Each structure stands twice: as structure tokens, then as C-alpha cells.
Structure 1
Amino acid sequence: MRLSYNNRVSSVRGFFRSAGSAADGPRGLSVGDIVTGLEDCPVQGVEDWTSCLSHLTHTPQTGYCVPVTSLQPSWAHGRPFKRLDGTMDCCSNNSLTDLCFSYIKPQGRNSREREFACMPVRKMVTGTATCRSDADCATHTAAASVCVTPSLENQTRFIRVTHLPSPNMLFVGYPPHLQYAVGLTNFVPRFGFLHRDLPIFLETFLKYVVSLSGALAVVNSVPCFALDGQWMLNALLEATLVGVVTDRQKRELIGFFLLLAGSALLAANVALGLWMVTAR
């Protein structure tokens, strides 16, 4: 029976390195989830996952198009205060469901006056388009909308992780933490009885086989008694020293001392390796 795998999408293969990691939680990532996007960056493989996280790390925070009517008294505005790093926060209750957002006041576009609002983050960003400015919202949405941006500490990002079949995971923190907390593979088994890590196991096994075979080939080529290197050395001496050293016994004596030196060197390396292993 042929093992069949599909590598069109990426699947979370590794669980989290420790409890309470960046991807843990009731709506976090689980083994077997299919990751398809980070914000507006599509993910079709492990390389895309890494490049998208790098892009989100080195670009300004993504904004979200929210209707102007949603920014009226139906949302509770918090009093903004300045953090130690100079950024602004307006959610002073350390809520796990609310996040501070900043936007340009619709009535004060000419003055570029910024307003801050503490909003329920999941309700606000679900199904909304991403933006960089209010002009992007005018293009993507029919209703009057403004571009709101999470007001976070420096180097911290708010990232929506799209993973099927669960709702989006909302991540707030440093993007490298998300990269190191999750293991991915490009393969998803087409049959349920196949383990999703089987391609990784096979790849690792073949790497070890190639490495071991190469190491044995190198050791076997050492000019040492009872190894193939002994006959390789004899053939080399016969091919190169016939015109220089005409006496066969002298050539054999030179080969003997070279084999003796090679054997001593190999024995010394083996003894040194055993000593380093036992001394730990």
C-alpha cells in the first residue's frame, strides 16, 4: 500500500513546548489544526509561516476597518494613560477580552487628532478587513469606516491566526515567541490511520543513515590495518613509488610504517572519544 500525503496546506504537528505558551489556551492552536493565514498573509507551508511572522515583526501594526457607528457610545471608552515605554493604553482593568485601540477622530481628520477606545477585541476584529489607513477602509467597505489600530507596547503585535476548523486565534505578544512555541509540517495525511509525523520520521531516519554511511566510509578509508584503507594505501604506493623506490621490500616497509601511524592515530581518536564520553 502506498503512503499518500497532501502537502498543499500546513498542519500544526508539534504541541506547545511548555504549559502556558504563546499558542496555548481554549481557542489556541492544537495538534492537527490547519494554519492558513496570519492576518492578511496567506500560509501554505512552513516557509510561509516563517516569512509572514518576520514580515509582521518588521512592519507597523495592522489596523482593522470598523464602522463609525461602532465607535459611538456603544463602546466603552477608557481613559488613556502612558506606559513606561511611551505607548498609550486605555484598558486599565487588565481584561483578557478587551484591548486598547487608537484611531483618528472622524470629525478631526484635518487635525489628525487621535482617540483611544477600549473594545472587546474578538467581537471587533471578527470578519473585518485589514487596513493601514482610513483610505483603505473606504476601498474595502461600503459603510463609513475608520481604521483602528491596537495600541500596544513597542515590538508587541496583535496577530490573528487563521486555523481550521476552529475560530481565529488572537495572539498578543512578540512574534518570535509564536514561532518558537509552535511546530509545523507541510504534510497532512490523507488517511486517518497514518501518523502526521511519519514524513518527519522517515526524513530524520534517512539523514541518520546517510550520515552514518558517510562516517563509516571515511573511517574505512583511513590507512589502518584490517581496513580498506590498507589496500588503498598499498595500491597508491605501487602506483606512485615504483619509479622512485625500485626495491619492493622498501616500498612495503614504507607502507608498514604509514599503516602503523594511521592505526595509532585511529586508536588515539577512539580512546579520546571514549574518555570524553565517560568523563561527563
Structure 2
Amino acid sequence: MDIKLGLMIVGVAYCMVYFFDSFFKSCAHYPYIKFLEGTGLKIGLFNLQWTTTAFNRSLLRFGNIRSNTKFLKVWFSIGLIASLILLPIAILLLIYSLVQNFVSSNENNLITPVIPGINLPASEILFYSATLIICSVLHELGHALAAVKEDVQVLNIGVTVFYILPVAYVNLNSENLKSIDPWKRLKILTAGIWHNLLLSFVCYLAYLSLPAILSIAFNTGKGVAIYEASKMSPLIGLKGLEIGDMITKINDCEVKTENTWVDCLHSVNKMNGMCFDPDAVRELDETSILRHLSSGLVECCEETKKGNVCFEFVDKDGSILELPSHVCLPAKTIMSKSEYYCSKIDHKCPKGSHCFIPQLNGSHLFKIRALNKPNIFYMGLTDDFLRTLRVSPYIPKFYFKTPVFAETIRKMLEYITIISLGLAIINVVPCFYMDGQHIISTLLYLSLSKSMNGDRLLLLSSMICLIFTALLIVHCVLTMWPFIF
């Protein structure tokens, strides 16, 4: 199903559910109201909220086990230290990222907001949604466990879904939280950040170890496999590439990983000539009248010869030409006879062959070698490969026909690593509605309570949060502006 159609169906479903919810409430339909109260469900326009106390007893039981109590004390103490170290780093990263918007391109900005369909492929919205729920659940679990450890009441936990983006939350007794020792309060406030940091670190290690973990079912370093292609890709189809094809070579460049795949494609831009045997050239030559084009190139093939390409003969040493300056050759046939490649600048070929440059305006000739398939020949742009094909370094050994399984795991680990770390950084910055707002307030109380009264501390804390909230908003607007307008 197309992602846009799916989102439209979700939107229509939301409208229908919201209509019936409003209708039953306006009629004071008792069974329906009792159902909402019993399930903790709240229905809004394009959002759903669910709260429950069902996990409170389990959290209390886990937190009060003696062995767990000692572990949690050390666990959240480490989390407090890690979060306090992250605080100044996160502030510097925010300021640096904001400055980057004015001095350079924001393509590689360290802190970038992510919006599906704008700077995140809409096709990956399920990865994004799943990552949000995993990261937010573990974040809020940290707050809940730390609260139980410090005898702060957990009122309830829940999940809010904004359209299709889920976010977990936990409600604590604010009076209990304010009344405990400030250092204990900081452990609760930083627990979610600590969990996000640790989750990001663990997933990053898993990402690095994934080739070894999946080595039972997948090879790596032996080529790339096509696992996704655009419907409009000119490379997919009869006598072309297919999903699952394993590519090992492009022209004379060995493809072993994703990086070498990109390097090999770009190398065709430089080494765009081929070395041909003179006898084969004479045998296949179908040259017609030479025509000089406005692009500066020369056309020597008849328009009816669709599979032919005009090649320019590049003399190796400036001596008398052994062949015509331009020859018209059937591209597929002559490419199948060539194993060596050259360029107009460096046109060295093996003894007995000469360098020929195809007269193509921006296009190139590609010879693609795929495992267990004949060579595939293609005339077109490098971007046709980069924009319409997605490849994986995971080559299936058995059972799996395509690398979709491996790529799904890898993509999920990538998302969790980046987004979980991003949530930790943003949450620790002193901004309104973030953990950093309460962290900075508690830190100011610990350091300045003897010299300043409560009202001044609150004012100072609010001013700091206002400044960094404004900086974050300005940065987000500047970063997203090129994508939206």
C-alpha cells in the first residue's frame, strides 16, 4: 500500500472515531463512558491517549526487592553522573549547531529535527514510530523505577499517539517529588536520559557487531544485494536487474561493500572510456556521416541504430591514427568484448588495444556483473543507480532470498542509536517541557539556595529555560526552512 494512501486511511479512521466518541458523549451514553473510564482511553482529534495503573504494583515489587534496591542505587547514581556530564556537552552542541546555520550548509548539522515526509523518507515512518515507542518507553521506565527506588508515588503510566507517532509517559506525585532530597530528585529526573544514553550505546555496539551476528545466514564484503527499487527505476525489468540480485562488479571496479558500490559508480564518471581491439572495431563499425552537435560532441551513428553508440578514438601517443577518429559500434556487443577501461586523460590500454570514449551527453556506459546472471549492460546516468536502487552489503547464504531481514534489523538499530541519543541530548538541555527544565531548577537550588530565595531561584531558572527554549526553536526553524520552502 502506498504510504500516502495509508496515512489518508488513518486520517479518515481518526475522524470517524472522533465523531462517534463525541456523539456518544453528547448523549451521555453510560456504557460507553464507563468503558472509557475502565480502559483509561481518551480520544481526541487525530490523537489517542491511554493511561493505566496496571503496572504500578509490578514496579513496586521489582523496586523493593533487596538485591534490586542495591543495584538500582548504583545504577541511577551512574546515570546521574553521566547526565550531568552530558548537560554542558548538550548545551555546547546546541549552540554550535545554531551557529552552523549561519556559517555553512546545515546538511551535516549535529542536531537536526526529524519530520517524516520532509527530511525523513515517508516509507520509513514505521521505523520512526517503532523507534519512538521503544525510546520513550525505556525513558519513562527509567523515571518510574527511580521514583519507586526513592519512594515517590507513581500515579500512572500511559501512551499518547499523535496521528501515528507514539510517545510514552509516566505521571509522578509532584508533591512527593518536591519534598525529597534534591540529589535523590536529580536521580529521578536524569533516569530517563541515562536510559536513552545506554540504549543508544548498546544499539550502536549491536550495529557494529551485526555482520558477525548475522554471519550464519549472510555473507558480507563479497558484493551488494538489491533489496529495494523505485517503481520507475529504468534498471529494473526484463533483461535488467531484479530485487535480490547480487552485484559484484561495475565495469572493472570490484564491488564489495556499500561504500565501494558508490565509489565504483562515481569512478565511471572518470574512467568513461573502454579499450577495444582494432580488429573488433573494424568488424563492427557502422559509421555514417559525422555530425557535430551543439553540445560539442560528435554523432556518427544513424538515428535508426538505437543500440549503437558513437565512440571517439583517443590516440595513445599522438602518432598517426590507426583507426578513424570516430566509429559507430553496437554498444552491448563491443562492451562484452572489453575488459579494460580508460579515460581521455589517462588512456593507457593493454598492448594491441586502443582507448575509445563514448560520445554521450552526460550519460555513461555500465557493465554490471551480478552473481549467477549474464552481464547486464546499461546506458544512462550514475544517479539512476543511486536514486532508484537501494543496496545492502548482506548477501544471503540460504533460506533468505533477499537481504530484507538483515536490512530491517540494521535500519532499526540505526534509528534507535541516533534517535535515542538525540532524545537524551535534547532532554538534558534546560528547555521548557523537557527534563532539563527540572534538572536546572534543582541544580540552581543546590548551588544558590543559601544566597537566593525561592522566588529568585524560580525566576533565574525560568530565564535560563526561556533562553535555551528560544535557541532550540530558532535552530529548528532555520534547519527545517530549506526543506519546507
What is the root-mean-square deviation of aligned Cα atoms in Å?
Answer: 3.8
Alignment-derived partner of residue 44 in structure 1: 256
Unaligned runs of 5+ in 1: 139-144, 274-280
- Which of 83, 86, 89 is matched with 2:293 structurally? 83
Q: Distance in 2 between matches of 1:254 and 1:78?
A: 89
Alignment-derived partner of residue 276 in structure 1: none
- Which of 268, 276, 279 is matched with 1:65 structurally? 276
Q: Distance in 1 between matches of 2:473 and 2:361?
A: 54
Q: Does residue 236 of structure 1 match 2:236?
A: no
Alignment-derived partner of residue 6 in structure 1: 219
Alignment-derived partner of residue 56 in structure 1: 268
Q: Distance in 2 between matches of 1:134 and 1:253?
A: 78
- Which of 185, 188, 211 is matched with 2:422 structurally? 211
SS of the equivalent of 2:350 reads helix
Q: Does residue 103 of structure 1 match 2:305?
A: no
Alignment-derived partner of residue 386 in structure 2: 179
Distance 1:160 1:209, change over 3 A: same
Unaligned runs of 5+ in 2: 1-212, 477-485
Identical aligned residues as a percent: 17
Q: Distance in 2 between matches of 1:54 and 1:112?
A: 31
Write 1 or 2 for the structure with the bigger share of helix: 2
Cα offset for 1:34?
1.6
Distance 1:259 1:135, change over 3 A: closer
SS of the equivalent of 1:170 reads strand
The structure showing larger relative contact order (alpha-carbon pairs under 8 Å, at least 6 residues apart) is: 1
| 2:272 alignment partner AA | Q
Cα offset for 1:15?
0.5
Alignment-derived partner of residue 26 in structure 1: 238
Alignment-derived partner of residue 128 in structure 2: none
Cα offset for 1:234?
0.8
| 1:195 alignment partner AA | F
Q: Does residue 126 of structure 1 match 2:336?
A: yes
Write 1 or 2 for the structure with the bigger share of strand: 1
Q: Does residue 252 of structure 1 match 2:454?
A: yes
- Match runs of 1:120-199 below 5 Å: 120-132=330-342, 136-138=349-351, 145-147=352-354, 149-193=356-400, 195-198=405-408, 199=410
Deviations 1:3-45 (A, max 9, x none): 44432122223313x51x3423423332222222221121111
Distance 1:270 1:83, change over 3 A: closer
CA contact (8 A) 1:42 1:48 kept: yes
Q: Distance in 1 between matches of 2:448 and 2:375?
A: 70
Q: Distance in 2 between matches of 1:234 and 1:146?
A: 81
- TM-score under structure 1 normalisation? 0.71
Aligned residue pairs, count:
250
Deviations 1:42-101 (A, max 9, x none): 1111211222233322x2522132351x34456533333222222122222354432223
- Which of 117, 121, 126 is matched with 2:327 structurally? 117
Bigger mean CA offset, 262-271 vs 3-12: 262-271
